[in-house]
Amino acid sequence: MKFAASFALCLIACGPSSRDPGGGDDTNTGPDAGDTTTTPRQCNKMDLVFVIDDSGSMSEEQSNLATNFPMFATLLSNYTTPDGQKIDYRIAVTTTGKDLMYTITNGPITLPQNEDGDNGAFRNNCNMTKRFLEPTDANMQQVLSCRANVGTGGPSYEMPLLMTKWALGDRVTDGTNAGFLRNDALLGVVMLTDEDDASTMQNNFNVTVTSQPPVDYQPADLITFLDTLKGHRTRWAAGVIAGPTDCSSSFGNAAKATRLQDFVMQANSTSTQASFSSICDGNLTGALQKTLDTFQAACGVVIF
């Protein structure tokens, strides 16, 4: 209840604030191209995407996240904007993995690997076929909690940056995630992993037992994609829950997420668009609160 109370107080106290819109000039190249409006206003819509690590080391973190998701949903359902409007939100869940073939070499031994991932597709499980949830959905809190527990059978290489792009780009284009994004909604992305990002467009590559895959999708690439997708830097925000250093907690060990920290730093170059929280804090309620605070502040002044 401490989480619910403190966040509720923030929602009351943290009203619209003056923020640099960032993202360069006001040219709109996103889905609402041609709209040259640059008037800041309070938003009352949020499209929220969770990109959750489903590799073998994540069971405790996922259970903790799933436990807190009903509270997260309740807070969103009860939140009203300063002008008295309820937040009209959508929530979708995907994972950090893609279909991947690679070969591990250890001296004379070669071990071919073939792993299956969600490839950015939103989950449509937990007795509901729709790929995103809305306030009017029956048993929304329970379904959301179920979807947050994504399992531990996913690929070994976590790619939250690239899977965010695939979820909101490639999987929208091919129709898998169609209908989720709204032009007039703040886009919020939450990435949760105990490893650093290893996003690569390549497949069927070779690695050793100590090397990493050929990383070639950079933090700046996702920032550019999100700016273009939404048409303005103020129209999206992000929260990263990962390792600030090599650390450990009751959840187990986490590696320093250097690339994800770089993503947050670059996203905040001209405005506060992203937050970073430690997955090693031992309880994810604080990290979720910090992320929600970031989204609420971003929703305070959006350029439409």
% of the chain residues with pLDDT over 70 = 85
pLDDT digits (tens, 9 = 90+) for 223-282: 999 999 999 888 999 999 999 999 988 777 899 999 999 999 999 998 889 999 998 887
**Topology of 25-98+120-198+216-303 in CATH?**
Rossmann fold (3.40.50)
Q: pLDDT at residue 33 above 70?
A: no
63-72, 94-103, 190-199: segment of lowest average pLDDT: 63-72
Confidence band of 304 (pLDDT split at 50, 70, 90):
low
The domain segmentation of the chain, as residue ranges, is 25-98+120-198+216-303
Q: pLDDT at residue 5 above 80?
A: no
Q: pLDDT at residue 22 above 60?
A: no
pLDDT of residue 26: 36
What is the rounded average pLDDT of the residues 18-32? Answer: 38
Residues in the chain: 304
pLDDT of residue 292: 79
pLDDT of residue 277: 92
pLDDT of residue 107: 85
**Taking a C-beta distance cutoff of 8 angstroms, is the pair 287, 281 a contact?**
yes
pLDDT of residue 78: 77
pLDDT of residue 20: 38
pLDDT digits (tens, 9 = 90+) for 174-190: 999 999 999 989 999 99
Confidence band of 140 (pLDDT split at 50, 70, 90):
confident
Q: pLDDT at residue 9 above 70?
A: no
